[in-house]
Amino acid sequence: MIKKILIFLFSLLLITGCSANSNITVHRPDDLSVDTISVSEVKQIIDDLDDDSITIIDVRTPGEYKEGHIKSAINLPLDNIENIDISMENKIIVYCQSGRRSNLAAIELIKLGYENVYDMGGIIDWPYDIVK
């Protein structure tokens, strides 16, 4: 009996241990996947930014953007994301306040045909200076 319990517990441990997703890709129900990028990676990109092939988009409202945004970010609210006028070859990083709108924006950009889209999440996780 103890042997069966130990086998059950070991099997349960294997199943739950393997279910943790350490990959940075988040799979969505509609088969779209959004790559995420850490705030430290975005900070490094900003520090090294020397060309126009990377675009950082703040998808919050204009009022939220004016209250403080990440250096080099342009404001393109989620409601207007379909009006994007950026090269399809650009690497696009999106962020919002907490991460919900940026994820929706990233999904919409992928649906529009953009392939190099990364979701940073929310500016609330940004420990670095912001532009006001």
Closest Cα to residue 100, out of 72, 123, 116?
Answer: 123
User: Is the distance from CB of 74 to CB of 112 less than 8 angstroms?
Assistant: no
Three-class secondary structure of residue 125 per DSSP: helix
From 56, 76, 96, 123, active-site residue: 96
CA distance 33 to 127: 27
Q: Is 96 a catalytic residue?
A: yes
Catalytic residues: 96
